[in-house]
Amino acid sequence: MVQESLQRIDGFIASSAQELFKSHGMEIAPSSRRLACVEDPLTATIGFTSADLRGLLVLTLGRGTAAQCLPSTLRSAEPGDEILADWTGELSNQMLGRLKNRFRTVGIDISLSTPIVFMGKEMRHFLNPSPVHRTLFFAEGCILVELQANCDKDYEIPEASESLEPEQPEGEALFF
């Protein structure tokens, strides 16, 4: 994949993350690297697939960050692990939903899986040898967003088309 396509993906990730956390009361800025070790990290991973692109999104943040952006209806003096884990999974779902809308503007329709959340220190995952591997840090390195994807060797992300609109307004709840 050429640099222009990778930059488009980075732009999708950055704008999606900033808008997501802003919608939950947190202004975040990109960081060039992880500056601090995330204390008590929560990590959510959620898969996606399309006709030509398939992979996963990883969202890692600390307990404090997860608690800071909790909806007011879930806030308590000390939110429990279950609430924070569930919320982290929901944030990853919302993040990938935003990415889905951005991919839609370039003609890529992705389907999402269900998020899985892990909690604990010194966790690491083994990277797949994916042709697309993007890692962006936010909030002085306290939030990590990683996207890994597989595609055909010559696959490229096209430029956005104004005629393609997102299917679902961001932040709108869907009930099944």
Worst-scoring range by mean pLDDT, 92-101, 109-118, 155-164? 155-164
**E strand or H helix at 15:** helix 3-23
Q: Which residue has the higher pLDDT, 96 or 31?
A: 96
Q: What is the mean pLDDT of residues 126-149?
A: 84
In a domain, 163, yes or no: no
pLDDT band at 164 (very low <50, low <70, confident <90, very high): low
In a domain, 159, yes or no: no
- Alpha-helix runs per DSSP H in 24-162: 63-68, 81-104
In a domain, 65, yes or no: yes
Instruction: Judge contact between 120 and 41, C-beta under 8 A.
Output: yes
In a domain, 167, yes or no: no
In a domain, 172, yes or no: no
In a domain, 74, yes or no: yes
In a domain, 91, yes or no: yes
How far apart are the C-alpha atoms of 15 and 31, rounded to whole Å? 13
Q: What CATH number is associated with residue 112?
A: 3.40.1550.10
pLDDT band at 86 (very low <50, low <70, confident <90, very high): very high
- The percent of residues in the chain predicted with pLDDT above 70, rounded, is 84
Query: What was the pLDDT predicted at 176?
Result: 31
| Domain extent for 110 | 3-150
pLDDT tens per residue across span 40-74: 899 999 999 999 999 999 999 988 899 999 988 87
Domain count, the chain: 1
Q: Which residue has the higher pLDDT, 31 or 173?
A: 31
In a domain, 173, yes or no: no
pLDDT band at 34 (very low <50, low <70, confident <90, very high): low
State the burial class of residue 67 (Cβ atoms within 10 Å of its Cβ: 0-12, 13-18, 19+). middle
Q: Supply the angle between the helices 3-23 and 81-104 in degrees, to the nearest 10.
A: 130
Query: What was the pLDDT predicted at 111?
Result: 96
